[in-house]
Structure 1
Amino acid sequence: MATFEQGLLLGVLIGEGHFGGDGKQPHVTVRMHTKHAGLFNTLLDLCPGSKLYGPYEHGGRSYYQWMVRGQVLREQLVPQLDALPLQSIDHHVYDRYMEMKQRYHL
């Protein structure tokens, strides 16, 4: 992944990302308005095997949800995030990311 794409991915995850899981497996999700469809297509290209769900309608809002889990998370996204300076950029997001990694033994 080129430097620009790394920065784009990191920026989206810092601003909109959720690092969690369902109790059995970890996942990283981004949920945003459908007007960001182009960005979601870019995320799919940057992380092959990730999934896009939606559009959903809820409470007058229309949104998509991008999700990375399973083998794609473990073998693609986590190594990419580990190689980036997340800790020095945003301590709060770094702590959430590390909590997910610890909880799910990544």
Structure 2
Amino acid sequence: MSIGFLLGLLVGEGHFGGDGRQPQITLRMHVRHERLFRWLTSTVPGSRLYGPYHHGGRDYYQWMARGDCLRREMVPLIAAHRDLLDDHTAGRFDAMCERYGISAAGGGGEGGAPAAH
């Protein structure tokens, strides 16, 4: 996997957050990037692609990493290369991990609930 390419996508277009119950990493981009989204879903096991959506004059896909995919694949990968992230993106990543009780050192926490301390 091209780690630099993936990190660049996350820095430029990614959202680190959640729905209050479980954390998620989301990329939302125009439908013209469909090939890129197909690459993401084949490269990141367990990630999902939604769409295409057409509303409000916008045509886009949405890619998401949640659950085991997020905790076992994405968080350890991003954490291992955190020094490459700009301060803003690193802060968003850290906030997601803290809010949902994920150890950025290698996943952790159960379900979507914050880990007990």
- Tell me, yes or no, whether TM beats 0.5: yes
Superposed CA deviations along residues 44-90 of structure 1, whole A, max 9, x for unmatched, are: 12201100000001211100000000011001110111111x34431
Equivalent pairs counted in the alignment come to 102
1:77 counterpart residue number = 74
Measured in 2, the distance between the counterparts of 1:13 and 1:46 equals 14
Structure 2 stretches lacking a partner, 5+ long: 103-117
Structure 1 spans left out of the alignment, 5+ residues: none
Give 1:1-106 correspondences, 5 Å limit: 1=1, 5-84=2-81, 86-106=82-102
Secondary structure in structure 2 of the residue aligned to 1:68: strand
Cα RMSD for the two superposed structures? 1.0
Distance 2:80 2:43 in 1: 15
* Mean CA deviation greater in 91-100 or 40-49: 40-49
Relative distance call for 1:78 and 1:45 in structure 2 (3 A) is: same
Tell me which protein shows more helix as a share of its residues: 1
Q: 2: CA distance between counterparts of 1:31 and 1:21?
A: 15
Cα distance change of structure 1 residues 47 and 88 upon mapping to structure 2, 3 Å threshold:
closer
- Measure the CA separation in 2 of the matches of 1:87 and 1:42: 25
Q: SS at 1:48's partner residue?
A: coil
C-alpha separation between the residues in 2 aligned to 1:23 and 1:64?
A: 22
Higher alpha-carbon deviation: 41-50 or 16-25: 41-50
Q: Hey, what's the Cα distance between the residues in 1 that align with 2:59 and 2:29?
A: 8
Q: Which amino acid aligns with 2:18?
A: G
